[in-house]
Chain A
């Protein structure tokens, strides 16, 4: 195992590049979800929270 055969058509890529590639793909996946418009349950909830607060302070 110490002497792995090199595959000339696919030179092994360095770990740092691979890590970056993983991170980039995950970041895109994450951002895609994070940038979705908020479902109405959240906009409704925010409105409720703001109203409660306004009511409590007056």
Chain B
């Protein structure tokens, strides 16, 4: 037997990662996830069994993020500086430079592009699921993902360099870092 409430629990980690990629700040992200979790828990009867629960939960995370964001307006948020600091302390071995480039390039995408790429590229959502989650047309999602990838390739000169291989520690920075103010 599968209790849908216990199924929610399995997605909390992914909800956090998604929220961090939206908020670019892990403390804010956890506030968002906490609110979203309470909402999901109490609205579980609205979830359609057999559909993609993660997509449903991400939609709630997204709505929570935007309403919180509107509320806080441009209230100054603490930059999650820990990872950025570690990155800047790394010696510039040839490989490492490329890793930092990836993180910085990712930050240069627009919010819409980043979100679309995270859903489709990192989460493996279909374009349809991603479009539904973001509440936009299918073509819009396709175009955002395509532009996001093209921009990363351009920013990193990826088509003219060796393949990048991001180590675990640095990879986390890609999701957690935040554009410089």
Contacts and interface: CB of A to CB of B under 8 A. Distances in A.
Interface of A: 7, 10, 12-13, 15, 18-19, 21-23, 25-36, 38-39, 41-42, 45-46, 49-50
Interface of B: 5, 9, 12-14, 16-18, 20-21, 30, 33-34, 37-38, 41, 102, 106, 117-118, 121-124, 149, 152-153, 158-164, 166, 168, 171-176
A45 to B, nearest CB: 6
Nearest to A37: B13
Contacts of A50: 5
B34 A45 contact: yes
A31 B171 CA distance: 10
A21 B162 CA distance: 11
Contact of B149 (A13, A19, A32, A45): A19
A32 to B, nearest CB: 5
A32 B171 contact: yes
Contact of A26 (B34, B117, B168): B117
B149 A26 contact: no
Given A12-B160, A27-B121, 5 more contacts: A7-B160, A22-B158, A25-B166, A28-B171, A30-B175
Given A36-B13, A49-B38, A30 B123 contact: yes
Contacts of A38: 12-13
